[in-house]
Structure 1
Amino acid sequence: MLEVLQVRPQAGVPGGLIIIDCRGFDASDYADCEVLFGETPGRIVSASPDRVLVTVPDDVTKADRLTGLQLMSAGRTSPRIPFLVAELLAENMHPVANPVCDPETGAIFTTISGSRGKKVEVSVWRISQEGQSTPFLDNVMNPTGLAIDREGTLYITSRHDGTLYRVSPFREVVPVAENLGIATGLAIDRMGNLFVGDRQGTIYRVTPFGEVSPHARLEPSMAAYHLAFSPDGHLYVTAPTLAGTRESIYRVTPGGEVEPWFVGLGRPQGLAFDRAGNAYVCASLNGLRGVIKITPDGQEAEPFIAGARLVGLTFDNRGNAILASNHEIYRVPVGVIGYDPARA
């Protein structure tokens, strides 16, 4: 009997590596082995009678995305088991941090950040719920962090000029605070204060009136800071370094004290929280890259979504994860409602 026992994780973007624990898989003849995502085969990386490693295929159909997967070998076929393949919403982008989702319209905002100092034709894009991409802004150089406050106002950091910008309803870009270093990560707390991560090592606090003060100090990052608030009221930070698979998520208290919260990730980047306080971070864990889910106490972690090049994520108000890779935006229905301190 050929049987699938477990799939880890149970969702993925094309190219993501998943592990299938199984029983009775005949791997003696690779030409006779398949893993079908719906009706589309994935690429088998390695296989044994009780475990198969496979990548999520690129060319899945709309029906394939929600159909699940099954194994085939030696003329036998396993029953299907649930698996979700992410839907491609947009490509030819260049996000370097989390996308954001407007809770009123469901629209997604993301960036073409570009090389530092290089101006692109359109720097911020708007993606409708139906997946239609339209140009939104063209006058912010190297946009990086994005956030939306409780009034629906979009904020953007520029790592080119170290400025935090506010976008008016008429798409006018207004500086809110300047001289913020290499401004990358961005998050808003319950009071409307904005926190900006300077990858040189400072996290700045910017009040709604534009008053700036240093809030915390960390080690400089080789790429960017990524910031998110948890329901516990603390600010959480990732900052990719050269520490290999022992990198940390840091917790910053309201008073600015910094401590490691979870250790053991590879190149952690974008992160978000759900309403129960679970953390979701784009990182590697035990050799698997994608979105890693961590319990509120920071004691347990597991792969949640497979994805080789994911750099950021957010959740919309319909239970979808919105995922950003180096060049694409994906959506996958995972049944998670994200925590938004601006609306808590």
Structure 2
Amino acid sequence: MNKAGKIISVNPPRAIAGGEVFIECENFQITNTENFGCFFGGEAARIIGASRTRVIAAVPDTDFDSTDVEIQLESDGERSNSFQITIGRKIAEDLHLVANPAVDPNDDAIILTRSGSRGQQLPVTLFRLEKTGFLTEMSAEIMNPTGVAFDRDGQLFVTARGDGEVFRVSGDEEVVPFATDLGIPTGIAFDKNGEMFVGDRGGTLYRVTDAGKGESFALLEPSVSAYHLAFGAQDASLYVTAPGLSSFDAIYRIDRDGFDEIFYRGLGRPQGLAFDRAGNLYAAACIGGRHGIVRIAPDGEAAEIFVAGMNVVGLCFTRKGELIAATGDAVYSLPIGVEGILLD
């Protein structure tokens, strides 16, 4: 009998570097602490836990030849069968993201940030990741950029938590103040009518008029870091996370009149949000002790870990069906064939 046993399944079947996957197996034999291992595309992985029926392993931080990567177990020099999963390709690093990236509807470039600590002015804080894969510096100078979003006319807006403002960035990267006196503005989203909503992590959600005037729309509990906002795929409701220190945080749903309810509860530090066209909500969060991107059913009744990853803060979808996962310092692309609603 093969001492490495047989791999039955891997959960989740998608991950980025550092993500922890559960490998369900049978007859995996461990006779001492040095004679067994787990390999991703031939690269040894760090094993977090192992038994005859389950191995928990962290994805190696390496450049695989493909996003389709084979996993194998090893024991006493024998290898198990292979099992294929999708590993995200690192497409940018040396950043500081604290919320979702955004896809430019004009040319499909991805807008990324190097936010810095509050009050820290860095030489370059905004970047464009072009379709060609080149990361270019933007000349727009904004201190502590946090949330980035495009309106329906393709204009880029950026919240700056250090200044308490929202800025508009023109096509030639000129920075124009748009709205002020918004507390510590973090999350930003536009509804289907083109109205802007901004979340002050102190507890206020603002509806911002075309003239840049912020009007209190709803009140929630304060966040220790940032509010994250997204509008639903199948309704006009605003969905919000306000990450705290609990492992049982909620995602809130707010109707057009500003009344809130809990859409889903049971997440650790939920952050960036995005919807697919089927109405599933994706959240950068922890569920059941597992970190990464969580997928929540349209009715909010079920949730599962969808992509394994550590320190994931945001995400978005591209026109090509890629999921873009952002950690605090890097960005990954996973070809999963899911269409988002961010580019309408």
SS in 2 for 1:14: coil
The alpha carbon displacement at 1:30 in A equals: 3.8
The corresponding residue for 1:186 is: 188
The corresponding residue for 1:257 is: 259
Structure 2: gaps spanning 5 or more residues: none
Query: Could you tell me the TM-score, scaled by structure 1's length?
Result: 0.95
Alignment counterpart, residue 35 of structure 1, candidates 21, 35, 38 = 38
The corresponding residue for 1:18 is: 21
Q: Structure 1, residues 202-235: CA drift from partner, whole Å, max 9, x if none?
A: 0001133323211110011110000011112211
Q: Structure 1, residues 55-96: CA drift from partner, whole Å, max 9, x if none?
A: 000124223x31331222234322222211111111110010
Q: Is the 8 A contact 1:103 1:317 kept in 2?
A: no
The corresponding residue for 2:122 is: 120
The alpha carbon displacement at 1:272 in A equals: 0.7
SS in 1 for 2:120: coil
Task: Report the number of matched residues.
Answer: 340
Q: How does 1:73-152 map to 2 (within 5 A)?
A: 73-152=75-154
Alignment counterpart, residue 60 of structure 2, candidates 57, 61, 68 = 57
The corresponding residue for 1:173 is: 175
Q: Is the 8 A contact 1:269 1:312 kept in 2?
A: yes
Q: Structure 1, residues 233-291: CA drift from partner, whole Å, max 9, x if none?
A: 2110001112x211100111111111111011101111111011101111111110000
CA distance in 2: counterparts of 1:78 and 1:190, whole angstroms: 51
Alignment counterpart, residue 316 of structure 1, candidates 311, 314, 318 = 318
1:9 partnered with 2:9: no
Q: Is the 8 A contact 1:9 1:306 kept in 2?
A: yes
The alpha carbon displacement at 1:97 in A equals: 0.3
Q: Structure 1, residues 128-172: CA drift from partner, whole Å, max 9, x if none?
A: 123211101341111000001222211100101111111111111
The 3 A distance-change label for structure 1 pair 110 and 134 is: same
- Aligned AA for 2:272? G
The corresponding residue for 1:234 is: 237
Q: Is the 8 A contact 1:270 1:313 kept in 2?
A: yes
Q: Is the 8 A contact 1:37 1:60 kept in 2?
A: no
CA distance in 2: counterparts of 1:209 and 1:182, whole angstroms: 20
CA distance in 2: counterparts of 1:145 and 1:303, whole angstroms: 24
The corresponding residue for 1:268 is: 270
Alignment root-mean-square deviation, CA:
1.4
- Aligned AA for 2:35? D
SS in 2 for 1:68: strand
CA distance in 2: counterparts of 1:234 and 1:136, whole angstroms: 33
- Aligned AA for 2:92? A
The alpha carbon displacement at 1:21 in A equals: 0.9
CA distance in 2: counterparts of 1:136 and 1:96, whole angstroms: 18
The alpha carbon displacement at 1:330 in A equals: 1.1
CA distance in 1: counterparts of 2:105 and 2:46, whole angstroms: 37
Query: Could you tell me the TM-score, scaled by structure 2's length?
Result: 0.95
The corresponding residue for 1:67 is: 69
Sequence identity (%): 44
Q: Is the 8 A contact 2:24 2:54 kept in 1?
A: yes
Q: How does 1:324-335 map to 2 (within 5 A)?
A: 324-335=326-337
Structure 1: gaps spanning 5 or more residues: none
1:288 partnered with 2:290: yes
The alpha carbon displacement at 1:126 in A equals: 0.6
CA distance in 2: counterparts of 1:92 and 1:128, whole angstroms: 16
